[in-house]
Structure 1
């Protein structure tokens, strides 16, 4: 018996197995994704491997933790007030509704709540891509009061995702107009492209615009919009099929840049 405990945890959607002493201190961890056992010290190397033996799935590399990447160092030095990664889907709307919930006797649902439901639905779907090598940030503030609803970064590139509540509504898209149900058409695609262009400027990388519709009954797109993806909450995974553009290190570096509030102050 080694006297060590193996504790499974999840980090960025990937499982890690930590090896702990009886007092709870970590002395090693096993990353299944990379097949590496990271030792914080060599003194109990054999004990660590013995404790992990039932969990190892094939050949592993054993050694000290890798040197942090520039992206990881940037994250560690980021002030908490400037870190946008903890933002929840619809963070801006959540704050606004908390400050001014509106009268309780309204006959119709506050449109902010429908917009919030849409952002939470799309945000949850994007967060589920985390295990496939994607990183998503929510409610990124832009100067002037605008914001990017979701920015998702993965092997296929960067995408600024704008959500639109369309439950039980027919949606017709004739670039740049979007018509939901019987409401008047709005030039929404123009705004979505502008937000993506601003994100491209901030990150010095191409950001593709996406319109994500939540629960429409029908979507009519007579002519595909120019350089813009139209998806629904059930088809967002199509982003993962667009081919590889970014390496994992590129994804992490862009994510580290995008999570810094100061990145967005110059657009």
Structure 2
């Protein structure tokens, strides 16, 4: 008998099977997602593999634990309450609707529902870029009650993405004003530039502003002149961002994502 036992646990959202001595000390753990057995004592390799045999699936790598990178160490040290990575698209709007729901007898639909649907649509499209080496954060809070709808970080650089809900309406853009249908003009481009500037200050890197028109389609887009330094996209144009590159290396992307996901990064901008 080896005197080893297997203890299943969850760590950082992933299942791990720890191999322990009778006194509770760990000698190894099996990470199913990584298909790797990490040994703390190479002398016990044979015993560890024997006791893990019923749990192993497919080919596994066996060896000492990898030395964590500075980015991984920072992520592990981040308190869950300060981690923005789990935020869903439209997280702030979801919370606002839960705290202040629409009265049952209200005649007009709450515009927050349309705004939330637009953020969810754009957020899902941006999440789909992660396979190409991009990272996305949603609903990034800024001091003063402002927020960045989506922050996109990847090979093509950093983008502050604002979402505007439209429903087969005419959109007129006369920098910095944006008018949807018969609504009042709003200096939306100025707001997006400001948010991008604050993000650049927080991350000490250039962040470019993007406005995405999302919803059931734009009946007509009237742009008086190409907006200065703001990219205006329709919802279907988002995959074009995935083709951008040559700005950040993968290690830079991960480092900036680790910095941006920390709530404390945004408290002084």
Q: Which blocks of at least 5 consecutive residues in structure 2 are unaligned?
A: 1-11, 19-27
The aligned counterpart of 2:246 is 244
> 8 Å contact 2:29–2:37 — kept in the other structure?
no
**Which stretch shows the higher mean deviation, 169-178 or 188-197?**
169-178
Distance in 1 separating the partners of 2:130 and 2:93: 23
When Rg is computed on C-alpha atoms for both structures, the one with the higher figure is 2
TM-score by length of 2: 0.79
Is the Cα–Cα contact under 8 Å of residues 38 and 64 in structure 1 kept in the other structure? Answer: no
Preserved CA contact (<8 Å) 1:136 1:152? yes
Give the C-alpha shift of residue 178 in structure 1. 1.1
Asked if the contact 1:212–1:232 (Cα under 8 Å) also holds between the matched residues in 2, the reply is yes
Paired residue secondary structure (1:109): coil
Secondary structure of the residue aligned to 1:52 is coil
Q: 2: distance between equivalents of 1:90 and 1:224?
A: 28
Instruction: Report the equivalent of 1:8.
Output: none
Q: After TM superposition, list the pairs within 5 Å mapping 1:82-161 onto structure 2.
A: 82-161=82-161
Distance 1:95 1:30 in 2: 32
Can you give the 5+ residue segments of structure 1 that lack an aligned partner in the other structure? Answer: 1-10, 32-36
For residue 220 of structure 1, report the CA deviation from its aligned partner. 2.8
Shift of 1:179: 1.5
CA contact (8 A) 2:38 2:64 kept: yes
Residue among 230, 233, 256 paired with 1:231 = 233
Q: Deviations over 1:116-142 (max 9, x none)?
A: 111111111111111111111111111
Question: For each residue in 1:60-87, what CA deviation from the matched residue of structure 2 results, as whole angstroms up to 9, or x when unmatched?
Answer: x875443211111111111111111111
Mapped partners of 2:32, 2:129: distance in 1: 24
Extract structure 1 runs of 4+ deviating beyond 6 A: 18-21, 45-48
**TM-score w.r.t. structure 1 length?**
0.80
- Aligned partners of 1:214 and 1:101: how far apart in 2? 23
Paired with 2:249 and 2:166, the residues of 1 have a C-alpha distance of 35
Structure 1, 249-258 or 173-182: larger mean CA deviation = 173-182
Q: Greater CA deviation, 215-224 or 205-214?
A: 215-224
Preserved contact between residue 83 and residue 263 of structure 2 (Cα < 8 Å): yes
1:225–1:65 distance in 2 versus 1, CA, 3 Å:
farther
How many residue pairs align between the two structures? 240
Deviations 1:134-160 (A, max 9, x none): 111111111111111111111111111
Following TM superposition, by how much is the alpha carbon of 1:235 offset from its aligned partner in structure 2, in angstroms? 1.2
**For the Cα contact (< 8 Å) 2:38–2:62, is it kept in 1?**
no
CA distance 1:231–1:19, shift in 2 (3 Å): same
Cα RMSD (Å) of the superposition? 2.9
